[in-house]
Amino acid sequence: GAYAQYAQDKVSAGNLKVQAELVGLQAEQKANQLREKLFGDISNSFAGYAARGIDIGSGTPITQAEMSLKEGGEDIQQIQKNAEIQANSLRKQADIIKSGSKANMWAGMASGVAKGALSLGMLYA
């Protein structure tokens, strides 16, 4: 029984580590989507300015683009930071499960050996 629980805990720990990797991949996907939206918005903004005859190489268009890029970069950093925190939490949970299950397995085996020795002693007593 102790080994079966150890094996089950090992699978659970592995699943948590896979979830941690998925969190990172999802964060990267969100960041890429945000970048695409950001660049699309800036491009559309420049097209609008150009259509109205405004020089897009200076002044308001550039200032707006710089602000958008700065805010977008901060959003991307926050997405990545949150994902890292969540992934680290999942990895730590996996490590706790794994180390606890090893201790429980050894304790269970030792208990089984002790019970066997006690039963053997009763046979010959």
Q: Is the pLDDT of residue 20 over 90?
A: yes
Check: CB of residue 12 under 8 Å from CB of residue 97.
yes
Contacts of 105 (CB under 8 A, 6+ apart): 2, 3, 5, 6
Full-model pTM: 0.67
The residue with greater pLDDT, 104 or 55, is 55
Which of 26, 5, 1 is CA-nearest to residue 90?
Answer: 26
Residue found under tokens 């969190």: 23
CA distance 111 to 120: 14
| Mean pLDDT confidence for 37-61 | 90
Q: What is the pLDDT of residue 17?
A: 92
Instruction: State the chain's mean pLDDT as an integer.
Output: 84
Q: Is the pLDDT of residue 113 over 60?
A: no
